């Protein structure tokens, strides 16, 4: 029934963007759903024993760093209105609902010495209500809301948190595992690390570019691997579930930037270690910067083996795409991931815009992403965990959103029919291949050396860690919103120590791409297809779940035409990627609720 409805959507609804729509049907067992995050929708921030998390702390600061001074104290009040939420989901006809657990609601101090029974009861009731309405729960264990007591100890830059997350995961599996088939350990880990400990765009707003973000990622990957192995060894045989983490991805049309950004997380989980280029670059940059060792931590050989293959499927978030070029100025004086990548990114002006400045509509980027994943990591199953567009909200006619989803679903279908490493590989590569991408290691090492570090700012995995990390994904969760054009950075910013400088690319979005309510989000449905194909090309046939996809608007109207347009295009792009042969098995829209949008407040 779902596939027939989507097929009709793709051929009947009009589109305002010049994109070819895939009119073929999705498989009958394809999963469609929507997504939320605990802090963004639950409210009840200090009720029934819940502890404080980093977003509670940030939102209550005076002056507030939130654009409109809003908080998530009440948000959508889903804590009290979850039955109404489920009724709306049933009315939409979705097959699954992706939501996140609040670590602080379950373990108020972050430690397992105190388990909150009312928090456990809330999530059990939510899952029960979903099951009663034939909606499959897809549960994210961590979505950016670290318990404040753990953050006081350094949060994700302190290795102590690895075992604390393991304790938390055990409580979660023990209490909810019998009723949950699909797990995501982390949502968009790069945002947690790069924006939380590097660029100060997300809580906890820690200013440690080029160092804290790599420590965070290293610990987060090991935490994922431990949770995956725990589930695999003690719960999988009885609960029959699958586990992965969800990656946000903006297709950059420049290979080294793709390898650094995607491979940073994907490659360790699929192959056991960071991409070689990532290790080399960060080590070289660290040495140039005066560091005694690379700023990118290393995995031991045991960790590589432990990480390798710790995914059952891949969660993909896709919103937009960027163009990337090799940065002429390597900015060796800059210690950051952005400088380490050594590319410049941009989005083309002709790409349709959204209400978010960064989000332009590039549906073909989704297909390219899906194909890149397949070509890089093999035929891993993929769930598109986020995909969507922002708009100004002045109308109930949501044509833009329809257009967006039509194009992006078409791109996914194209990628499925067809049958990227610094950014994506940062997180995916260690979990699939055991280590960071080689280009990421290389660039950060070179920049670190130039900047005076005695070793690369990118931590290394030991051989044991590489083996431990490798393969710790059952599927890949992918978030997609937009795309950007990427150019090799003319200014390498070697004086800047940060992830953004390490990438060594310049990004931009084309003016012709449709805008959203978010400056970064332009409507680029073709980027969705490209992302999915890139994942397939890079990591093989790993199953992919689209964990986030959507568009922002200004909320001034109930006529949601822009959102309709966005989803129409992106669902079309996803269909195209699936036609390409990409193993996408589910799609989750973000978000069909007016949730608290982090530092941007309510959009």
CB 363 within 8 A of CB 524: yes
Q: In terms of Cα–Cα distance, which of 249, 210, 257, 199 is closest to 488?
A: 257
Same domain as 396, residue 262: yes
Bigger pLDDT: 498 or 260?
498
184 and 328 in a single domain? The answer is yes
Residues 68-116: tens digit of each pLDDT:
999 999 999 999 999 999 999 999 999 999 999 999 999 999 999 999 9
Quick one: average pLDDT of 183-195? Answer: 92
**Alpha carbon separation from 253 to 199, 235, 264, 372, 528 (Å, rounded):** 23, 40, 17, 11, 12
- Burial (CB < 10 A; 0-12, 13-18, 19+), residue 18, is exposed
Q: Are 595 and 41 in contact (CB under 8 A)?
A: yes
Q: What is the pLDDT of residue 25?
A: 72
**Which ranges constitute the DSSP H helices of 354-453?**
364-377, 399-418, 429-432, 438-450
471-500 average pLDDT score:
87
The alpha carbons of the chain give a radius of gyration, in whole angstroms, of 21
Between CA 345 and CA 64 the distance in angstroms is: 30
- Is 338 a member of any domain? yes
Kind plus residue range of the DSSP H or E element containing 215: helix 212-234
Give the integer Cα–Cα distance in Å for 114 and 106.
Answer: 9
User: In angstroms, rounded to a whole number, what is the distance separating the alpha carbons of residues 580 and 586?
Assistant: 16
Q: Give the pLDDT band (50/70/90) at residue 3.
A: very low
| Chain segment 237-286, per-residue pLDDT in tens | 999 999 987 776 554 444 444 555 567 888 888 888 988 888 999 999 99
User: Does the pLDDT at position 18 exceed 70?
Assistant: no
- Is the pLDDT score of 8 beyond 50? no
Q: What pLDDT score was predicted for residue 23?
A: 57
- 521 with 404, same domain: the answer is no
Same domain, 412 and 516: no
522 and 405, same structural domain? no
Q: What is the mean pLDDT of residues 191-201?
A: 94
pLDDT of residue 287: 96
| Chain centroid, CA 210 distance in Å | 20
Q: How far apart are CA 100 and CA 480, in angstroms?
A: 18
What is the spatial distance between Cα 423 and Cα 329, in angstroms, rounded to a whole number? 19
Residue ending a domain, among 384, 416, 448, is 416
Cα four-point dihedral sign 407, 411, 416, 421: negative
Residue 458 to residue 477: CA distance in whole angstroms: 24
Could you tell me the CATH number of the domain that includes residue 41? 3.20.20.80
Name which of 499, 448, 474 is nearest 218 in CA terms: 499
Catalytic residues: 386, 548
Beta-carbon neighbour count of residue 397 at 10 Å? 17
Name the more confident of 417 and 234: 234
Q: 441 lies in a domain?
A: no
Taking CA atoms, 224 is separated from 147, 243, 327, 347, in Å, by 17, 9, 33, 33
CA distance 550 to 98: 14
Alpha-helical runs (H) found in 320-363: 337-340
pLDDT score recorded for residue 254: 42
CA distance 327 to 339: 9
Q: Do 386 and 276 fall into the same domain?
A: yes
State yes or no: pLDDT of 12 exceeds 60: no
Let me know how long the chain is: 603
Q: Would 444 be classed as within a structural domain?
A: no
Total number of domains in the chain: 2
- Residue 21 lies inside a defined structural domain of this protein: no
- Domain boundary residue, one of 416, 442, 457: 416
Q: If you average pLDDT over residues 437-466, what whole number do you get?
A: 92
Q: Are residues 184 and 331 in the same domain?
A: yes
Q: How confident is the model at residue 601 (pLDDT cuts 50, 70, 90)?
A: confident
Residue 504 lies in a domain: no
Q: Do the domain assignments include residue 421?
A: no
pLDDT score of 1: 27
pLDDT at 247: 72
Q: Residues 329-365: pLDDT tens digits?
A: 999 999 998 899 888 888 999 999 988 888 999 988 8
Please say if the pLDDT value at position 525 is more than 60. Answer: yes
pTM listed for this prediction:
0.74
Q: Which residues contact 434 (CB under 8 A, 6 or more apart)?
A: 267, 268, 271, 272, 273, 299, 303, 304, 305, 307, 308, 461, 465, 466, 467, 469, 470, 471
Measure the CA–CA gap between 425 and 539, rounded to whole angstroms. Answer: 9
H or E element: which one contains 521?
strand 518-524
> Taking a C-beta distance cutoff of 8 angstroms, is the pair 372, 428 a contact?
no
- Final residue in a domain of this structure, among 416, 442, 460: 416
For 157, which DSSP code? G
Q: Which domain holds residue 518?
A: 474-481+512-602
Q: Diameter of the chain by CA atoms?
A: 61
DSSP state of 384: E
The verdict on residue 493 lying in a domain is no
- Phi, psi (degrees; rounded to nearest 5) at 437: -60, 145
Predicted pLDDT of residue 259: 56
Q: Is residue 489 part of a domain?
A: no
Report the DSSP beta bridge partners of residue 251. 321
Model confidence at 325: pLDDT above 90:
no
Query: 195: which residues sit within 8 A by CB, 6+ positions away?
Result: 201, 202
What integer pLDDT is reported at residue 337 of this predicted model?
87
């Amino acid at each position: 029934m779902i596939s027939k409805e989507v097929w009709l959507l793709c051929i009947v609804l009009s589109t305002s963007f010049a994109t070819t729509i895939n009119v073929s049907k999705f498989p009958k067992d394809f999963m469609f759903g929507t997504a939320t995050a605990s802090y963004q929708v639950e409210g009840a921030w200090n009720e029934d024993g819940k502890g404080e998390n980093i977003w509670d702390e940030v939102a209550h600061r005076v002056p507030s760093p939130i654009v409109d001074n809003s908080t998530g104290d009440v948000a959508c009040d889903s804590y009290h209105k979850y039955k109404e939420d489920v009724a709306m989901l049933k009315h939409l006809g979705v097959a699954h609902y992706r939501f996140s657990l609040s670590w602080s609601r379950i373990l108020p101090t972050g430690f397992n010495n105190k388990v909150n029974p009312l928090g456990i009861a809330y999530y059990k009731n939510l899952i029960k209500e979903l099951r009663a309405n034939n909606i499959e729960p897809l549960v994210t264990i961590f979505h950016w809301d670290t318990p404040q007591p753990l953050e006081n100890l350094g949060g994700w830059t302190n290795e102590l948190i690895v075992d604390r997350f393991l304790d938390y995961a055990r409580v979660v599996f023990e209490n909810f595992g019998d009723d949950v088939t699909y797990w995501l350990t982390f949502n968009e880990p790069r945002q947690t690390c790069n924006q939380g400990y590097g660029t100060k765009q997300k809580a906890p707003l820690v200013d440690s570019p080029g160092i804290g973000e790599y420590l965070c990622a290293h610990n987060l990957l090991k935490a994922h691997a431990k949770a995956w192995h725990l589930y695999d060894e003690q719960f999988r045989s009885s609960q029959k579930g699958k586990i992965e983490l969800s990656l946000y991805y903006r297709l950059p049309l420049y290979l080294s930037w793709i390898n650094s950004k995607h491979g940073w997380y994907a490659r360790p989980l699929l192959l056991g270690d960071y991409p070689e280029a990532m290790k080399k670059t960060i080590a070289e940059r660290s040495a140039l910067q005066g560091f005694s060792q690379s700023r990118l931590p290393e995995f031991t050989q045991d960790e590589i083996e432990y990480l390798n293959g710790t995914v059952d499927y891949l969660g993909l978030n896709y919103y937009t795409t960027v163009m990337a070029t090799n940065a002429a100025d390597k900015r060796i004086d800059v210690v950051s991931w952005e400088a380490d990548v050594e590319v410049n990114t941009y989005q083309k002006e002709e790409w349709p815009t959204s209400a978010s400045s960064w989000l332009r509509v590039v549906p073909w980027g989704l297909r390219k992403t899906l194909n890149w994943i397949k070509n890089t990591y093999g035929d891993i199953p993929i769930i598109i965990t986020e995909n969507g567009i922002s708009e100004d909200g002045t109308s109930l006619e949501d044509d833009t959103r329809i257009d967006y989803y039509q194009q992006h679903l078409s791109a996914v279908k194209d990628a499925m029919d067809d049958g990227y490493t610094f950014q994506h590989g940062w997180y995916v590569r260690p979990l699939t291949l055991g280590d960071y991408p080689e280009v990421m290691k290389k660039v950060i090492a070179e920049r670190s050396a130039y900047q005076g570090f005695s070793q690369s700012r990118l931590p290394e995995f030991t051989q044991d860690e590489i083996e431990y990390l490798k393969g710790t994904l059952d599927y890949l969760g992918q978030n997609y919103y937009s795309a950007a054009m990427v150019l090799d950075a003319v200014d390498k910013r070697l004086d800047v120590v940060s992830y953004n400088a390490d990438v060594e690319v310049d990004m931009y979005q084309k003016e012709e791409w449709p805008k959203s309510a978010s400056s970064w989000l332009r409507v680029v449905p073709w980027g969705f297809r490209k992302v999915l194909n890139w994942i397939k090309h890079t990591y093989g046939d790993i199953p992919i779940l689209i964990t986030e996809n959507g568009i922002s608007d200004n909320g001034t109207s109930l006529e949601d035409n822009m959102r309709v347009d966005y989803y129409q295009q992106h669902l079309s792009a996803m269909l195209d990627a699936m036609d390409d042969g990409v193993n996408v098995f589910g799609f989750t829209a973000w978000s069909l609720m007016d949730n608290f949008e982090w530092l941007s407040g309510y959009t």
